[in-house]
Amino acid sequence: MKKSKNNKNEKILLVGGGTGGHVVPLYNIYQFLLEREPDIPVAIIGSGSKIEQPFFGGLPNYFVLTSGKFQGYDILVNLWQSILFCAGFVQALVYLLQIRPKIIFAKGGYVTVPILIWARFLRIPYYIHESDTVMGRANRFAAKGAKKVFTGFPEKNYPELKKSKIIFCGQLITDMEKLDKSERFDFGFTNNNPVVFITGGSLGAASINKNVFGALSELLPKYNIIHQTGAKSFSEAIDVRVKLPGSMRRSYFVADFLSAISGDNKLLSAMELADLVVARAGATTVAEIARSGKPMVLIPYPHAASDHQVKNAQILQKTGACLMITDRELTPVTLTETISKLFDDKSKMKEMTASAKKFFPPHAIEKIGEEIISEVSK
């Protein structure tokens, strides 16, 4: 078990982990608290996933909790996950007795469940944030005992929640204007063609990657492409890039993961440079695109819990904020045609940008951060 080097008991506890949609917002809250109230100690509990390491790895106040994730109907897999959950359940109590937080903020993911079970038993108040239009399983459980539930979409999307608990604040994303010019990453493009940023999220998306590879011969003569592949497809993307002619190779930048850390924020650099973004429809990703003022093509992940990515994209498409291609419809041809049609209709792209910007209110990080500070200062 990892012990904090700080002799003072941490008063604020941040919990969440697993994917970028959990980790990046949690990191943004952590950064705000450090800047706003550096004398109030903050601890972080995560799942220990690879994606957490650039953000929290090495911090003395970062703790890794064993967590089980029940999935599908595989009895052996779920038996093993049950064992992990029980181990994490005991570990969570030990951490809470060690840290003794006055307030907990949870950003979803299975790692939050044992912590919040004990929080209710120990009567430690906690807040949660739900990014999507449909609540995830961990947050559905957590909402029952939460003091406040912050939401990424308007309260009408959460009829199962008590209205008195809901605070609509938007998504926990960094403002574009905070990216200093000295931090902007050079992607190495040597022409002035429009830039398309394609991402399947922090873990990548196999179906998007496969169809991008198939569309490169049509796309690269007209566009520069930034492609975040995720770790699993990265080596294949490098092989594809190496085989391209020189001029096309210089128009194709690939990365397994684009960092969103202050001082090395390649993700915001990509958003800022892009003329169009093609992405999955996770709420944090969509909000980052909208805040950057870029038109978007959304390809929802078809196996997301409660189909929340499809529902996110449908709500945005109804307001004219995006175009949606379902995973079933996605081919190299449909991808190329959709991108080309948008660049041929600049007025459509402007309308999409305006609609998307209106959809997500700013300053969510500040709103939640101030609520946490207010609670811990009582």
The pTM of the full predicted model, rounded to 2 decimals, is 0.79
Number of domains the chain is built from? 2
21 in the same domain as 126 = yes
Does the residue 5 lie in any domain?
no
Does the residue 151 lie in any domain?
yes
159 in the same domain as 21 = yes
Measured CA angle at 67 (ends 65, 70), to 5 deg: 170
Tokens encoding 130: 């739900």
Q: What is the DSSP letter of 323?
A: E
279 in the same domain as 234 = yes
238 in the same domain as 169 = no
Does the residue 6 lie in any domain?
no
Residues contacting residue 321 through CB under 8 Å, at least 6 positions apart: 290, 296, 352, 355, 356, 359
The whole-angstrom separation of Cα 187 and Cα 234 is 17
Does the residue 1 lie in any domain?
no
Distances, alpha carbon 170 to alpha carbons 211, 250, 284, 326, in Å:
32, 37, 9, 25
71 in the same domain as 166 = yes
The parent domain of residue 46 ranges over: 12-173+362-376
325 in the same domain as 202 = yes
Asked whether residue 21 is marked as a ligand-binding residue, the answer is yes
Does the residue 322 lie in any domain?
yes
Cβ pair 151, 166 in contact under 8 A: yes
pLDDT given for residue 7 in this prediction: 40
258 in the same domain as 163 = no
Q: In degrees rounded to 5, what are phi and psi of residue 279? A: -155, 170
191 in the same domain as 160 = no
Asked whether residue 309 is marked as a ligand-binding residue, the answer is yes
116 in the same domain as 37 = yes
189 in the same domain as 158 = no
Element (H, E) at 292: helix 283-292
Count CB neighbours of 109 within 10 A. 24
Cβ pair 1, 29 in contact under 8 A: no
The whole-angstrom separation of Cα 266 and Cα 274 is 12
pLDDT given for residue 2 in this prediction: 46
pLDDT in tens, the chain (378 residues): 444 444 455 599 999 987 888 898 999 999 999 999 999 999 999 999 888 998 999 899 999 998 766 555 566 656 766 777 788 899 999 999 999 999 999 998 889 999 999 999 999 999 999 998 888 888 888 999 999 999 998 898 899 899 999 999 999 987 655 556 667 889 999 999 999 999 987 677 899 999 999 999 999 999 999 999 998 999 999 999 999 999 999 999 999 988 766 666 788 889 889 999 999 998 888 988 988 889 999 999 998 877 889 999 999 999 899 999 999 999 999 999 999 999 999 999 999 999 888 878 889 999 999 999 999 988
Based on the number of CB atoms within 10 Å of its own CB, is 313 exposed (0-12), middle (13-18) or buried (19 or more)? Answer: buried
Distances, alpha carbon 15 to alpha carbons 43, 239, 293, in Å:
9, 38, 30
CATH number for the domain harbouring residue 129: 3.40.50.2000
Does the residue 298 lie in any domain?
yes
Asked whether residue 202 is marked as a ligand-binding residue, the answer is yes
Residues contacting residue 99 through CB under 8 Å, at least 6 positions apart: 4, 9, 10, 13, 43, 63
Asked whether residue 262 is marked as a ligand-binding residue, the answer is no
Please tell me the total number of residues recorded for the chain in this structure: 378
Does the residue 3 lie in any domain?
no
The amino acid sitting at 38 is: P
163 in the same domain as 235 = no
Does the residue 4 lie in any domain?
no
282 in the same domain as 141 = no
The whole-angstrom separation of Cα 256 and Cα 228 is 5
